[in-house]
C-alpha cells in the first residue's frame, strides 16, 4: 500500500505582503513555504504510515528550488519524493497542472489499495481545483474537505465538512482525498529525519519523462493546455488612513458605516 | 465525451446556474446567482436556466423563476437525493453535452467547490473559482476596474482584447470573472476564450439577490430531464448528513471580534450584553482588554493583547478601548478595525479603519441594528 | 574556513525555530510565574530527537553534530531560557560524560533512554563547600564489596527533581586531593538517594534546581564511570562541553531580547514618532546586534572544534564568557529600551534579563572562564 501526496511550494500570503509602486505584487518579498493544507495531507499520510507501515511518496510540480520543500517533507517521515519540473510545464492553469500531475501519478502507479492525498487549496491560487481535477483525470472517486479519515481494510470513512455540519462518506481505495486544517496537527521534522532526508530517493520527472502518457502532449500543457487566461490582474487600493464617521448623529454614523461594510463585502 | 466539441463557441448558448439544494431546501446562494445570471444573460441577449438536481424536488423549482430564471432544468432521481460527486457530475455533464450552455455558474459552497472542478475537468473547459465579480458588458467592466483597482486608465482601455496563444482575441462576449488570489492581496480577471461552457464558482453572499417577482415564478418553465443513473455510477456512499450546532469559536480563529474596554465600567453587564448582541449579528465572538479581565468582568480567555491572545480577524470592533500599546499588540493586524470611544483623542483611532466618537452604550445597539438592516437588504 | 551552515543544519534551524515559536513560546511566561517544569515540552522535544541530538544512532541518539545541538539550545533560549537549559544540562552534563567515558555496557544501558528523552539527566558536582573550588568535594564514596556507599550532599543541581539518571562526583580517596575524586552513574531509585526542595531563583524559574542527598546511598560497583581517581578530569572535560550549551543559551537570550526590542521600538510612539526613529534607539540596537553576532561566531566556532575532536577547552571558555556577559548586557539594554513597560511582566524582556544573569555563574563562573583562558595563554 502506498500513499501519494501532492504538495505545492507557495509564497507565504498570510503575512504582510508588499506591493510594488506599479501596483504589482512584490513576490520576492514573500517567504516560500509548503502550502498549509498540503502539510495536513502529509500528516494524514504519515499517520497511516505509522499505523500500517505503508510507503509515502510526495510529489510536487515546480521549479528546481522546490526540492528544498520535498527534502523537508522527507525529513518529516515521507519515503520518496518526485519533482515534476520542466520549462514546458510553465504557465499552466489548474486544468493543465492537474493533467501533468495525473500523468506523474500514473507513472508512479496507482494500485488497488493506494490513496492519493492533496490539500484542499493552495494559498496563492486559492482555487481548490487541482485535487478534484486530478481525481477526474485518474478516474478516481474523490472526497473533499476531509476533517477526519479512518481506514479499515480498503474502505475509508471520511468526515466531510459542510458549512453547517458534515457528511460521513465511505469510499473504497484507490481514491483521492483533499484535506483541511481541522484534520490534524502536522508534525515537525525530526532531528534524525533531517539527517536522513538527503539520502532518501528523489526523482525528477521532466517533459521527456512524461510525454508518452496519453494525457501529455504540447497542446495539453503550459499555456497551450490552459483553458483559462488572465485578462488583467491588479492589487486592490491600499488601506489608507482610517476615516472618522461624521454624519451628524450616532444613528446616521452607524447606518453609513454599515453600508460601507456591506459595499466592501465585509459583512 | 470524445465527440463533445466544445471549441465551436457559436454552438453554445444561454447561461446556466447550478441550484444547490440540501435536504430539499434551496441554498440562499442560488437566488443570488440566478439574480446575477439574469444580468449576464441580458447582457449576452440569451436565456437563463437554473439546473436543479435531487429526489422529488420539482416543487421547489419555480421559486427560482421569481428571481429571473427563464426556466429550470429539473433532474429528479432517487440517487440524486444526497450530493455525491459521481452522480451529480455525471448528470450535469450529460445535460451540458446535450444542451450546450455557454456559461455555467455554481455557488462556491463546500459542495460547489467539489463539483465545479470535477465537471470542468470532464468537460475540458475553464473554471474560475470564488469569483467576486462577473462581467460581460465591457463598459460596466471598465468602470469596475476604474473604481476597484489602481490600474492606469490607458491600461483599462486596452482590456477590450487579449493575446491568446499569440493571436488577438476580442473579449467582449467572454465572461470576465474577477476573483481574489494570494490570500486576497491580488485580484485577477480570468477569461475562458477557447472553450465552452465558461464555468465560474461564486462566493455565497457576494452577489445581490434581486427582488422576488411572483408572476415570473409562475411563468417559469420546468424542463424535465430523463436521468440515466445507476448505483454502479456512484463510487462513494453517504452514510449520514449531520447538522452541527454552532461551535464555540475561539478568539484566535474568529473572523469577527467585538471587544470591550474600560468604557463599559458604568454598566458592565449592560455593556457586555450590547457587545454580545453585536457579535452575534456579525457571527463572531466577544473579547476584552486587560482592564476588563483584571476587573473580573470577563474571564482570562477573552483577553486580547500582549499577555492575552493575538488575533487577526476580518473585523475587530473596539468598544470603549483606549488603544494602549499592549492592547494594540494583540489586534493591530486585524483586516478592518472599527473603534467606538467617547474620547476623540484615544490612540485606538490612529489604527482604526473606521472610527465613531460617541457613547458606546448609545452607538453599539444602533450599529447592531444598522448592520442587521444592511445584511437584510442584500 | 567555511562560515556556511550545511543544508541539514539549515533545515534544523527552521524546525527549531518553528517548534520554539509554536510550542515553547506560549508557555514561557506561565512556567516562569508558576515555577513549573514544562514536562509536556520535554515529551514533545523527545519525540523529535532533541534530547540526544549529537549522539550516534546506535545509542539512541539522532546522529547529528555538536553545532546542530548548540543551535537547538540557541533557538529555544530565544523564547524561553528555562526550556533551553533543560536540554543543555541533560545533553552536555549527563548524556555526554556517559558517552565519552562509559563502558560499552554503561552506554548501552543508559544512553538509549536518555537520548530518547524517556529519562532526563543531571550532573552532581557542586556542593555547599565546593563551588568554584570544585576540588573541595566532601561527598565520600567507600567501596564495600560489590558496591560503593555514598555520603554527602550536592546543591544547585539543574534538573534535580525530574531526572532519573545522575552523573555524580565523590571522593574515593580523601588523601589524593583532585586525584581522589571519582565519577558515578546514580539512578533516582538507588537506596539512600533523595532530592531536596525546589530552589526558588531569580531567573530560569521553571528549571528544576535542588539539593541531592546521599545517606549511605548504595551504588553498584559497575556504576563507577571511568576509573577511580579520574573523576575530576571527567568533571572538567564535561564542563568544557557544557560551556558550549550554556553559551548557546546566553546567545539565544541576547538574540531574543533584540528581536523583542526591535519589534517594540517600531510600535511605541512618543514625540509623534516611533522611538525606533531616534538615533539613541538605533545606536543601542546596533551595539546589541553587533555583540550578539560576535557571540554567535565564538559559540559556533567552539562547537565546530568540539565536533572535529580538536582541543576546544579555551574556545568553549571564551564562548561562555563572552556570550554570558553579552546576554546580561543586551537584556539589560532591552529592558531600558522598553522603558516602564519593559519592567512589567506583561513583556518578556524582564524575564530574559533575569534569566541571563545565571549564565555568568553556573557551569563555571565568568571568573573561572577567565582563569581557563589565562592559563591557555601560558600565564
A32-41 residue pLDDT tens: 999 999 999 9
In chain A, pLDDT over 70 holds for what percent of residues? 98
Q: pLDDT tens digit string along A134-190?
A: 999 999 999 999 999 999 999 999 999 998 899 999 999 999 999 998 999 999 999
Report the top-level CATH class of A2-220: alpha beta
Q: pLDDT tens digit string along B359-378?
A: 999 999 999 999 999 988 77
d(CA C164, CA C105): 18
DSSP SS3 for C16: helix
Q: What residues contact A201, with CB distance under 8 A and at least 6 apart?
A: A80, A81
C29 contacts B329? CB cut-off 8 A: no
- The pTM (predicted TM-score) of the whole model is 0.91
Average pLDDT over residues B83-106: 97
Average pLDDT over residues B23-37: 94
Residue C102's closest CA among C94, C190, C143? C94
Q: What is the pLDDT of residue B248?
A: 59
Contact C168, C155 (CB under 8 A): no
Q: What is the pLDDT of residue A12?
A: 87
C47 contacts A195? CB cut-off 8 A: no
pLDDT mean across residues, chain B: 92
Q: What is the pLDDT of residue B186?
A: 87
The nearest alpha carbon in chain B to A99 belongs to B121
pLDDT at B3 over 80: no
Q: pLDDT tens digit string along A204-213?
A: 999 999 999 9
* Max Cα–Cα distance, chain A, nearest Å: 72
Q: What is the pLDDT of residue A267?
A: 79
d(CA C156, CA A192): 33
pLDDT mean across residues, chain A: 93
Contact A99, A219 (CB under 8 A): no
Question: What does chain A come to in residues?
Answer: 267
B121, B176, B236 ranked by CB distance to A133: nearest: B121
Place of cell 450552455: B101
Q: What is the pLDDT of residue B206?
A: 84
Q: What is the pLDDT of residue B147?
A: 86
Of the pLDDT bands very low, low, confident and very high (cuts 50, 70, 90), residue B312 is confident
**Which of the two residues, B39 and B209, has the higher pLDDT score?**
B39
Phi and psi at B12, nearest 5°, equal -105, 130
Q: What is the pLDDT of residue A201?
A: 98
A71 contacts C15? CB cut-off 8 A: no
Residue of B81, B82, B127, B342 to mutate, interface with A, max A Cβ within 10 Å: B127
Known catalytic residue: C215?
no
Q: What residues contact C280, with CB distance under 8 A and at least 6 apart?
A: none
Q: How many CB pairs under 8 A join A and B?
A: 267
d(CA C49, CA C72): 11
pLDDT at A265 over 90: no
Calculate Rg over the CA atoms of chain C: 21
DSSP A248: S
Of the pLDDT bands very low, low, confident and very high (cuts 50, 70, 90), residue B203 is confident
Pull the grid cell for residue B297: 468582568
Average pLDDT over residues B114-122: 97
Q: Sign of the C-alpha dihedral, residues B212, B217, B218, B219?
A: positive
**Which of the two residues, C19 and A25, has the higher pLDDT score?**
C19
d(CA C375, CA A245): 73
Stretches in chain C below the pLDDT threshold 50:
none
Average pLDDT over residues B36-61: 96
Average pLDDT over residues A45-53: 96
Q: What residues contact B140, with CB distance under 8 A and at least 6 apart?
A: B43
Pull the grid cell for residue B204: 455565497
User: Which residues of C fall within a CB distance of 8 Å from A189?
Assistant: 11-12, 14-15, 48
Contact C61, C147 (CB under 8 A): no
Of the pLDDT bands very low, low, confident and very high (cuts 50, 70, 90), residue B247 is low
Of the pLDDT bands very low, low, confident and very high (cuts 50, 70, 90), residue B297 is very high
DSSP letters spanning A154-211: TEEEEEEEETTEEEEEEEESSEEEEE-GGG--PPPPPHHHHHHHTTS-EEEE-HHHHT
Average pLDDT over residues B1-13: 79
- Residue B117: enclosing H or E segment and its boundaries? helix B112-123
* Chains linked to A by 3 or more Cβ pairs within 8 Å: B, C
Q: What is the pLDDT of residue A67?
A: 96
Q: What is the pLDDT of residue A7?
A: 98
User: Which residues of C fall within a CB distance of 8 Å from B290?
Assistant: 346
Pull the grid cell for residue B29: 446562494
DSSP C200: P
d(CA A190, CA A184): 18
Q: What is the pLDDT of residue B1?
A: 46
d(CA C354, CA C334): 12
Sequence ranges of the domains in chain A: 2-220
Average pLDDT over residues B106-113: 94
d(CA C363, CA C93): 9
**Which of the two residues, C99 and B300, has the higher pLDDT score?**
C99
Phi and psi at B21, nearest 5°, equal -125, 145
Q: For C172-179, which contacts have Cβ atoms below 8 Å and span 24 or more sequence positions?
A: C172/C140, C172/C141, C172/C142, C172/C143, C172/C148, C172/C228, C172/C229, C172/C231, C173/C228, C173/C229, C174/C140, C176/C229, C177/C135, C178/C135, C178/C232, C179/C229, C179/C232
pLDDT at B208 over 50: yes
Q: pLDDT tens digit string along C51-98?
A: 999 999 999 999 999 999 999 999 999 999 999 999 999 999 999 999
Average pLDDT over residues B207-225: 93
C11 contacts A72? CB cut-off 8 A: yes
In chain B, pLDDT over 70 holds for what percent of residues? 98
DSSP letters spanning B86-112: HHHHHHHHHHHHHH--SEEEEE-STTH
Distance in Å from the first CA to the final CA of chain C: 29
d(CA A104, CA A84): 7
Contact C124, C183 (CB under 8 A): no
What distance in Å separates residue B242's CA from the closest CA in chain C?
33
Distance in Å from the first CA to the final CA of chain B: 40
DSSP B65: G
Residue A31's closest CA among C291, C342, C14? C14
Pull the grid cell for residue C337: 529600551
> Which residues in A88-103 are b (16+ Cβ under 10 Å) and which e?
bbeebbbbbbbbbbbb
Amino acid at each position: 500500500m502506498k500513499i501519494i501526496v501532492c504538495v505545492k511550494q507557495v509564497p507565504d500570503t498570510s503575512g504582510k505582503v508588499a506591493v510594488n509602486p506599479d501596483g504589482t505584487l512584490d513576490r520576492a518579498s514573500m517567504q516560500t513555504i509548503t502550502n498549509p493544507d498540503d502539510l495536513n495531507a502529509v500528516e494524514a499520510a504519515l499517520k497511516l504510515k505509522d499505523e500500517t507501515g505503508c510507503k509515502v511518496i510526495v510529489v510536487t510540480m515546480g521549479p528546481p528550488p522546490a526540492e528544498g520543500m520535498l527534502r523537508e517533507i522527507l525529513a518529516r517521515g515521507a519515503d520518496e519524493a518526485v519533482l515534476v519540473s520542466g520549462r514546458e510545464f510553465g504557465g499552466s492553469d489548474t486544468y493543465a497542472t492537474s493533467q501533468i500531475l495525473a500523468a506523474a501519478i500514473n507513472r508512479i502507479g496507482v494500485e488497488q489499495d493506494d490513496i492519493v492525498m492533496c490539500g484542499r487549496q493552495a494559498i496563492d491560487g486559492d482555487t481548490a481545483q487541482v485535487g478534484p481535477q486530478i481525481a477526474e483525470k485518474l478516474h478516481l472517486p474523490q472526497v473533499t474537505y476531509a476533517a477526519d479519515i479512518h481506514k479499515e481494510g480498503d474502505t475509508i470513512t471520511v468526515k466531510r465538512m459542510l458549512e453547517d455540519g458534515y457528511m460521513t462518506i465511505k469510499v473504497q481505495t484507490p481514491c483521492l482525498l483533499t484535506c483541511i486544517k481541522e484534520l490534524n496537527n502536522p508534525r515537525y521534522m525530526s532531528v534524525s529525519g533531517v539527517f536522513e532526508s538527503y539520502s532518501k530517493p528523489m526523482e525528477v520527472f521532466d517533459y521527456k519523462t512524461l510525454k508518452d502518457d496519453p494525457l501529455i502532449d504540447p497542446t495539453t500543457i503550459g499555456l497551450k493546455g490552459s483553458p483559462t487566461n488572465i485578462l488583467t490582474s491588479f492589487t486592490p487600493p491600499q488601506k489608507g488612513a482610517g476615516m472618522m464617521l461624521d454624519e451628524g448623529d450616532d444613528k446616521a454614523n452607524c447606518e453609513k458605516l454599515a453600508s460601507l461594510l456591506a459595499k466592501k463585502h465585509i459583512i | 465525451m470524445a465527440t463533445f466539441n466544445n471549441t465551436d463557441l457559436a454552438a453554445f448558448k444561454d447561461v446556466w446556474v447550478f441550484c444547490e439544494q440540501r435536504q430539499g431546501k434551496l441554498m440562499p446562494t442560488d437566488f443570488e446567482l440566478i439574480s446575477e445570471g439574469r444580468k449576464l444573460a441580458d447582457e449576452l441577449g440569451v436565456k437563463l436556466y437554473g439546473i436543479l438536481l435531487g429526489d422529488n424536488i420539482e416543487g421547489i423549482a419555480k421559486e427560482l423563476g421569481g428571481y429571473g430564471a427563464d426556466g429550470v432544468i429539473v433532474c429528479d432521481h432517487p440517487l440524486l437525493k444526497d450530493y455525491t460527486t459521481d452522480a451529480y457530475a455525471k448528470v450535469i455533464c450529460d445535460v451540458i453535452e446535450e444542451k450546450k450552455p455557454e456559461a455555467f455558474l455554481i455557488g462556491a459552497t463546500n459542495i460547489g467547490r467539489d463539483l465545479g472542478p470535477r465537471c470542468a475537468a470532464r468537460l475540458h473547459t475553464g473554471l474560475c473559482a470564488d469569483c467576486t465579480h462577473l462581467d460581460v458588458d465591457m463598459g460596466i467592466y471598465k468602470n469596475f476596474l476604474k473604481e476597484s483597482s489602481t490600474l492606469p486608465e490607458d491600461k483599462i482601455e486596452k482590456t477590450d482584447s487579449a493575446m491568446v496563444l499569440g493571436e488577438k482575441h476580442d473579449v467582449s462576449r467572454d465572461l470576465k470573472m474577477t476573483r481574489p488570489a494570494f490570500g486576497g492581496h491580488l485580484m485577477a480577471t480570468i477569461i475562458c476564450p477557447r472553450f465552452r461552457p465558461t464555468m465560474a464558482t461564486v462566493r455565497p453572499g457576494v452577489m445581490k439577490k434581486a427582488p422576488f417577482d411572483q408572476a415570473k415564478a409562475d411563468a417559469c418553465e420546468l424542463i424535465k430531464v430523463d436521468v440515466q443513473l445507476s448505483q454502479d455510477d456512484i463510487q462513494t456512499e453517504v452514510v449520514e448528513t449531520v447538522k452541527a450546532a454552532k461551535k464555540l469559536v475561539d478568539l484566535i480563529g474568529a473572523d469577527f471580534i467585538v471587544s470591550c474596554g474600560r468604557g463599559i465600567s458604568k454598566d458592565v453587564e449592560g455593556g457586555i450584553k450590547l457587545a454580545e448582541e453585536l457579535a452575534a449579528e456579525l457571527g463572531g465572538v466577544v473579547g476584552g482588554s486587560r482592564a476588563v479581565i483584571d476587573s473580573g468582568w470577563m474571564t482570562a480567555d477573552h483577553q486580547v493583547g500582549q499577555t492575552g491572545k493575538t488575533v487577526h480577524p476580518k473585523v475587530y470592533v473596539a468598544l470603549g478601548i483606549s488603544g494602549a500599546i499592549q492592547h494594540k499588540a494583540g489586534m493591530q493586524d486585524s483586516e478592518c478595525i472599527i473603534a467606538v470611544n467617547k474620547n476623540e483623542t484615544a490612540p485606538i483611532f490612529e489604527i482604526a479603519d473606521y472610527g465613531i466618537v460617541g457613547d458606546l452604550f448609545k452607538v453599539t445597539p444602533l450599529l447592531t441594528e444598522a448592520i442587521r438592516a444592511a445584511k437584510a437588504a442584500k | 574556513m567555511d562560515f556556511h551552515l550545511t543544508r541539514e543544519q539549515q533545515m534544523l534551524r527552521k524546525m527549531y525555530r518553528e517548534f520554539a515559536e509554536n510550542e515553547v513560546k506560549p508557555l514561557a511566561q506561565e512556567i516562569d510565574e508558576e515555577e513549573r517544569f514544562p514536562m509536556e515540552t520535554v515529551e514533545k522535544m523527545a519525540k523529535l530527537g532533541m534530547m540526544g541530538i549529537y549522539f550516534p544512532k546506535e545509542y539512541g541518539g539522532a546522529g547529528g553534530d555538536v553545532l546542530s545541538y548548540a543551535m537547538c539550545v540557541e533557538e529555544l533560549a530565544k523564547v524561553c531560557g528555562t526550556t533551553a537549559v533543560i536540554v543543555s544540562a541533560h545533553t552536555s552534563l549527563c548524556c555526554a560524560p556517559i558517552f565519552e567515558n562509559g563502558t560499552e555496557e554503561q552506554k548501552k544501558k543508559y544512553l538509549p533512554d536518555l537520548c530518547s528523552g524517556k529519562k532526563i539527566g543531571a550532573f552532581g558536582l557542586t556542593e555547599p563547600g565546593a563551588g568554584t573550588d570544585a576540588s573541595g568535594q566532601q561527598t565520600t564514596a567507600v567501596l564495600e564489596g560489590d558496591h560503593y556507599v555514598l555520603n554527602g550532599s550536592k546543591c544547585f543541581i539543574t534538573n534535580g527533581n525530574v531526572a532519573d539518571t545522575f552523573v555524580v562526583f565523590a571522593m574515593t580517596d580523601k588523601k589524593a586531593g583532585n586525584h581522589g575524586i571519582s565519577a558515578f552513574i546514580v539512578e533516582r531509585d538507588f537506596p539512600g538517594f533523595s532530592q531536596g526542595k525546589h530552589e526558588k531563583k531569580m531567573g530560569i524559574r521553571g528549571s528544576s534546581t535542588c539539593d541531592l542527598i546521599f545517606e549511605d546511598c548504595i551504588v553498584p560497583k559497575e556504576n563507577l564511570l571511568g576509573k577511580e581517581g579520574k573523576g575530576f578530569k571527567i568533571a572538567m572535560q564535561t564542563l568544557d562541553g557544557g560551556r558550549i550549551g550554556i553559551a548557546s543559551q546566553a546567545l539565544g537570550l541576547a538574540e531574543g531580547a533584540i528581536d523583542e526590542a526591535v519589534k517594540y521600538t517600531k510600535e511605541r510612539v512618543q514625540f509623534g514618532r516611533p522611538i525606533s526613529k531616534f538615533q539613541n534607539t538605533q545606536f543601542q540596537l546596533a551595539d546589541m546586534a553587533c555583540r550578539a553576532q560576535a557571540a554567535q561566531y565564538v559559540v559556533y566556532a567552539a562547537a565546530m572544534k568540539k565536533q572535529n575532536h580538536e582541543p576546544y577547552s579555551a574556545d568553549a571558555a571564551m564562548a561562555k564568557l563572552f556570550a554570558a556577559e553579552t546576554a546580561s548586557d543586551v537584556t539589560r539594554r532591552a529592558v531600558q529600551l522598553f522603558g516602564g513597560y519593559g519592567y512589567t511582566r506583561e513583556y518578556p524582556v524582564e524575564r530574559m534579563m533575569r534569566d541571563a544573569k545565571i549564565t555568568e555563574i553556573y557551569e563555571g563562573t565568568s571568573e573561572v572562564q577567565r582563569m581557563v583562558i589565562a592559563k591557555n595563554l601560558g600565564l
